[in-house]
Amino acid sequence: MQRNDRLFRFWGLVAFGAVALASPALAGSAGGLPWEGPLEQVQQSITGPVAGFIALAAVAIAGGMLIFGGELNDFARRLMYVVLVAGILLGATQIVGLFGATGAFIGTAKEQWETAPAIEGGEGGHG
């Protein structure tokens, strides 16, 4: 009986220590992960106006090389395709913005209704 009592006290102390040590670790996870800051900086860098100009230049140069490049070897042609695709991917936000698309709105239906532009006249307002 003495052994079971010691074992029970030992595991009770271990469980209490584990809970006490895990509490600050679990509370600290609400902040942010250490790599979120650099990733947000990269996101701002590739979606800003400088990235749009770089994308435009890359598309123009790569397109010109593919059209007027004459006899490019296979490596140079593939490299131009990579530059062309990278330019299109970097400029995708500006391309989508040209068509009037905006980002997604996540919220309640009431918030969407209040922020939506008012349409006057209904169907009969077209003429």
The pLDDT tens digits of the residues spanning 69-95 come to 778 888 888 888 898 888 888 777 777
**Two structure tokens written together for 48:** 């800003």
Provide the b/e sequence for 33-49 (b: ≥16 CB within 10 Å): eeeeeeeeeeeeebeee
For the residues 58-76, what does the mean pLDDT come to?
85
Check: CB of residue 83 under 8 Å from CB of residue 61. Answer: yes
Confidence class for position 45, pLDDT limits 50, 70, 90: confident
Predicted TM-score of the model (pTM): 0.44
Question: Which of 7-16, 24-33, 38-47, 54-63 has the lowest average pLDDT?
Answer: 24-33
Q: Give the Cα separation of 40 and 31 in Å (integer).
A: 15
Strands (E) across 3-121 are located at none
